[in-house]
């Protein structure tokens, strides 16, 4: 957008006796993308601009076209006319970018290359250092507010504990910026980030947020009937998700059945509730394990329940999850590289269902 302003492609234009401020001609922009090697051909350029339209970044000046046409039509960046609807997630992302730019541009920055367990990490800082800096620079009124900001940045994948074991705390725990906002990138990367799994496959790209909030309406992946029939339900539930049903499962016969709600929510296997703070506190009696689960034709073979944190409610003894070492009562820490302790089971379900067939999960298990 800024480059187009500098190149005078974005300017006030007159059409049918009306002046449209800060707009560009679609055909001219497609030419510009090719000339500046942002797109190899017109087809790719059109797809790129359509991607921006789909994400409410640009729009037709009169909103008469919902798609991007390579013609003499006027379009505009929503940022230039005040119609860009920044969601909470986008605000956090922009806040993280602003803080990053501020940190890397000052002398004696707290961002340094540090080593932990013989591994060097870029753009690192201690949690307490960040809290001090945020309060000192007026980015937060007090330490409590600074901790809340740090947690929001971590939950959106902007910062991360160097070994991805802790949430954000006001302590000497080491964190780093997971996104390098100054990395040179090209628009064509947008075309490769067309699914949620691209977020974990391209952790250094600032084009997309890492916090995913898919529609929790389809939670059929989690559906079970009764405890004695869990084995069948958890293996067959992913098929019903593909069919687009709300809360069905396959019984032992091929007939699709819709069980009563009460039967879909068996009693929790946890002996008592466990909070995130308890799981993450230093010295807590929990160990983290990484499980790689390759789904078969009918799913992954487990049920997750609860929220903040979620736990493993049931595991099919003959399924892929059991083969990978999953057990009941484990807590779900991350899914495909995304921290999920703060999410509910519907969101985690959607995240798993829309991700790759090979599922990488980190779970926390109580020490015997």
Is 201 part of a structural domain of the chain? no
Is 303 part of a structural domain of the chain? yes
User: Given the structure tokens 């073979």, which residue do they identify?
Assistant: 301
Share of the chain above pLDDT 70, in %: 79
Same domain for 103 and 138, yes or no, is yes
Domain closes at, from 138, 155, 177:
177
Query: Whole-prediction pTM value?
Result: 0.47
Report pLDDT digits (tens) over 342-357: 888 888 988 888 778 8
Is 328 part of a structural domain of the chain? yes
Report, as an integer, the average pLDDT of 84-104. 84
Same domain for 168 and 92, yes or no, is yes
- The CB density around residue 347, as the number of other CB atoms within 10 Å, is 21
Is it the case that residue 57 has pLDDT exceeding 50? Answer: yes
Same domain for 147 and 118, yes or no, is yes
Is 267 part of a structural domain of the chain? no
Is 195 part of a structural domain of the chain? no
Same domain for 16 and 68, yes or no, is yes
Question: Is the Cβ–Cβ distance between 163 and 117 less than 8 Å?
Answer: yes
CATH number at residue 300: 2.30.42.10
Same domain for 114 and 72, yes or no, is no
Same domain for 11 and 51, yes or no, is yes
CATH number at residue 66: 1.10.10.10
Give which of 335, 288, 286, 333 is closest to 308, Cα–Cα: 333
Same domain for 113 and 137, yes or no, is yes
User: The dihedral of CA 265, 273, 150, 157: what is its sign?
Assistant: negative
Is 186 part of a structural domain of the chain? no
Question: Is the Cβ–Cβ distance between 114 and 120 less than 8 Å?
Answer: yes
Same domain for 20 and 64, yes or no, is yes
Give which of 96, 171, 166, 158 is closest to 127, Cα–Cα: 171
Q: Where are the alpha helices (DSSP H) in the chain?
A: 2-6, 26-35, 42-54, 78-81, 88-104, 127-136, 143-155, 197-201, 230-242, 276-280, 320-324, 345-353
Torsion of CA 334, 339, 341, 342, to 10 degrees: -150
Is it the case that residue 329 has pLDDT exceeding 70? Answer: yes
| Plot region of 290 (φ>0 → left; ψ -120 to 50 → alpha; else → beta) | beta
Range(s) of the domain holding residue 124:
88-177
User: The dihedral of CA 249, 251, 257, 258: what is its sign?
Assistant: negative
Report pLDDT digits (tens) over 128-174: 999 999 999 999 999 999 999 999 999 888 999 998 888 999 999 99
Give the DSSP letter string of 197-232.
HHHHH-TT-SSS-S-----TT--GGG----GGGHHH
Same domain for 331 and 290, yes or no, is yes
Report pLDDT digits (tens) over 30-52: 999 999 988 999 999 999 999 99
Residue 207 tokens, joined:
């084009």
Q: In what order do the strands lie in the sheet with 159-161?
A: 112-116, 119-126, 174-177, 159-161
Is it the case that residue 87 has pLDDT exceeding 80? Answer: no
Is it the case that residue 260 has pLDDT exceeding 60? Answer: no
264 vs 73: which has the higher pLDDT: 73
Is 225 part of a structural domain of the chain? no
Identify the burial level of 181 via C-beta atoms within 10 angstroms of its C-beta, where 0-12 means exposed, 13-18 middle and 19 or more buried: middle
202 vs 340: which has the higher pLDDT: 340
Same domain for 319 and 362, yes or no, is yes
Backbone φ and ψ of 32, nearest 5°? -65, -40
Question: Is the Cβ–Cβ distance between 225 and 259 less than 8 Å?
Answer: yes
**Number of domains composing the chain:** 3
Domain closes at, from 128, 151, 177:
177
Query: What CA–CA distance (Å, rounded) separates 29 from 9?
Result: 7
Backbone φ and ψ of 89, nearest 5°? -65, -45
The rounded radius of gyration (Å) of the Cα atoms in the chain is 24
211 vs 310: which has the higher pLDDT: 310
Same domain for 32 and 59, yes or no, is yes
Report pLDDT digits (tens) over 173-218: 999 998 888 776 678 877 775 443 333 334 444 443 333 333 333 3
Is it the case that residue 364 has pLDDT exceeding 90? Answer: yes
Residue 184, pLDDT score: 65
Query: What CA–CA distance (Å, rounded) separates 32 from 47?
Result: 14
Domain closes at, from 148, 177, 206:
177
Is 258 part of a structural domain of the chain? no
Query: What CA–CA distance (Å, rounded) separates 220 from 241?
Result: 6
Same domain for 64 and 114, yes or no, is no
Query: What CA–CA distance (Å, rounded) separates 170 from 305?
Result: 30
Give which of 167, 188, 189, 164 is closest to 178, Cα–Cα: 164
């Amino acid at each position: 957008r800024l480059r187009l302003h500098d190149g005078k492609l974005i300017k006030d234009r007159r059409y049918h006796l009306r002046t449209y401020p800060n707009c560009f001609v679609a055909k001219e922009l497609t030419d510009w993308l090719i000339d500046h090697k942002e797109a190899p051909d017109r087809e790719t350029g059109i797809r790129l601009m359509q991607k921006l339209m789909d994400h409410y970044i640009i729009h037709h000046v009169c909103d008469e076209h919902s798609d991007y046409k390579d013609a003499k039509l006027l379009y505009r960046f929503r940022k230039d006319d005040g119609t860009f609807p920044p969601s909470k997630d986008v605000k956090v992302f922009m806040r993280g970018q602003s803080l990053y730019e501020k940190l890397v541009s000052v002398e004696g920055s707290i961002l340094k290359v540090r080593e932990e367990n013989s591994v060097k990490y870029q753009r690192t800082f201690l949690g307490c250092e960040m809290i001090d800096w945020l309060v000192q620079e007026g980015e937060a009124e007090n330490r409590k507010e600074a901790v809340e900001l740090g947690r929001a940045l971590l939950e959106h994948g902007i910062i991360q504990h160097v070994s991805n074991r802790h949430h954000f705390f006001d302590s000497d725990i080491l964190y780093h910026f997971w996104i390098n906002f100054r990395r040179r990138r090209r628009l064509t990367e947008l075309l490769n980030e067309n699914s949620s799994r691209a977020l974990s496959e391209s952790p250094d790209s600032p084009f997309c947020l890492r916090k995913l909030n898919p529609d929790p309406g389809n939670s059929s992946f989690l559906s079970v009937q009764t405890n004695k029939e869990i084995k069948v339900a958890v293996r067959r539930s992913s098929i019903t998700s593909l069919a687009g049903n709300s809360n069905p499962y396959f019984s032992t016969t091929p007939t699709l059945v819709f069980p009563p709600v009460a039967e879909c929510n068996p009693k929790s296997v946890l002996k008592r509730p466990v909070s995130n703070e308890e799981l993450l506190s230093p010295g807590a009696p929990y160990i983290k394990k990484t499980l790689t689960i390759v789904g078969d034709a009918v799913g992954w073979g487990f049920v997750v329940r609860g929220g903040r944190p979620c736990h493993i409610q049931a595991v099919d003894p003959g399924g892929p999850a059991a083969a990978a070492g999953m057990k009941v009562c484990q807590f779900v820490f991350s899914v495909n590289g995304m921290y999920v302790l703060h999410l509910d089971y519907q969101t985690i379900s959607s995240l798993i269902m829309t991700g790759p067939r090979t599922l990488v999960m980190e779970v926390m298990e109580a020490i015997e």
